[in-house]
A and B are shown apart, each in its own frame.
Chain A
Amino acid sequence: EAQVTQNPRYLITVTGKKLTVTCSQNMNHEYMSWYRQDPGLGLRQIYYSMNVEVTDKGDVPEGYKVSRKEKRNFPLILESPSPNQTSLYFCASSLIQGAVNEQFFGPGTRLTVL
């Protein structure tokens, strides 16, 4: 089954404790992306990746890191989480055919930073 998986689905942590949210897709998509969703703000892109070892900032990259060492995986790293990073996070992937096409979304990770 074609899918995007994220882990963990729920996470409660404390300020400053490094964490990683994993994302994996089995569709051989070049494009992968991380978004955060906050009430009333829709989805805001954090980072995206065009292919292995190619990443770029979205609109809200501060406080986050990513890596793309393999095509299927795109982990999101919070080196020193803060309460303002409490949010619902989504990973997505897509084929690129001149432009980003239909994005397939993971189920989301709800993060709370105390």
Chain B
Amino acid sequence: SQQGEEDPQALSIQEGENATMNCSYKTSINNLQWYRQNSGRGLVHLILIRSNEREKHSGRLRVTLDTSKKSSSLLITASRAADTASYFCATDGPLGGFKTIFGAGTRLFVKA
């Protein structure tokens, strides 16, 4: 079962613009994480936000979490061509279990 679902599936922007990706999930969580994947390679952790947090920043990344709507967003500001990648949200399983559930991802293309 897919808990995290990203939106949009694909996003194409110009360098310097901001990119926003959204993630929705179905059950209660302990935390939500965002990962990045360059084509066919291993995933790299970007940021973790806990269920009692509403917003978190890391460099050009800003993540928000709305537990009432069961949704999260990842904002990349001042995007660069090197940000071109797929971005995935991941949540722990229902009832705070130790499963990890990934969404299908958003493919971001940043044009130079």
Contacts and interface: CB of A to CB of B under 8 A. Distances in A.
B43 A99 contact: no
B98 A43 contact: no
B45 A104 contact: yes
A88 B40 contact: yes
Contacts of B71: none
Given A99-B30, A102-B48, A44 B43 contact: no
B103 A42 contact: yes
Given A42-B105, A59-B1, A103 B45 contact: yes
B33 interface: yes
A48 to B, nearest CB: 6
A59 B101 contact: yes
Interface of B: 1-2, 4, 30-31, 33, 35, 40-45, 48, 88, 90, 92, 96, 98-105
